Amino acid sequence: MLTVAAWSVLVCGLWLWGREITGVPPSPAGQAGGVVVPGLPAAHAPLAGALPARVDVPAMGIQAPVIFRRLDAQGAIEPPPYESPGTVGWWSGGTLPGAAGTALMVGHVDTKSKPAVFFGLSTAEPGGKVRVHRADGSVAEFTIEDVRVYERAGFDPAKAYGPRIKGRAELRLVTCGGTYDKAAKQYTANVVVSAYLTGVGARTGTAV
């Protein structure tokens, strides 16, 4: 049975406030948000830039086309259109997925009547894979290093979306979380999945 929030329209700003979030100071090397995560693979060298076409999260059954999004008047990334809840939005003003820096992708958690593309994002686990199919025919494979819920009160976009380790190719998948505030017509938190590049392959091959 769906939760109450799953039947509500997602209203979720990333609160970038027009800041260049990919240029903030990194965390100490070898750490994920200040917490060492053992057993994860080494980072792959960043790739040449290429536009994203599709994002897959195998553990969740996600295979979603990527559309390009900009910042709205409030400085938040525009989410995908409500009539396209199965799509993922990539901030086209930021880093290309696979290139050095932090690429940002956003998606709805639900619609008025059903779950949307990132409904299960909060259940992601370290070690899981995220594959971004790119326009040059390559597939950038990212490994999830942590999943965090950031409350909207006191939200720090640099901490949530900034690079963890300088020079790495990183990825953030973002949706809404917490509880749905009916009065404010928005969720109380953001779910942020952090991943980093660990492999690359062709669309018909296996990442190495």
pTM for this structure? 0.81
**32 pLDDT above the threshold of 50:** no
Taking phi over 0 as left and psi of -120 to 50 as alpha, with beta for the rest, 40 belongs to beta
Q: Which secondary-structure segment (H or E) carries 113?
A: none
What is the residue-averaged pLDDT of the chain? 80
Asked whether 194 and 144 are in contact (CB, 8 A), the reply is yes
Structure-block tokens of residue 23: 């240029």
Cα angle: 104, vertex 20, 42; to 5 degrees? 50
Taken in order of first residue, the domains within the chain and their CATH numbers are: 5-22+47-202 (2.40.260.10)
Identify the pLDDT of residue 204: 62
**20 pLDDT above the threshold of 70:** no
Of the candidate ranges 21-25, 66-70, 114-118, 148-152, the one whose mean pLDDT is the lowest: 21-25
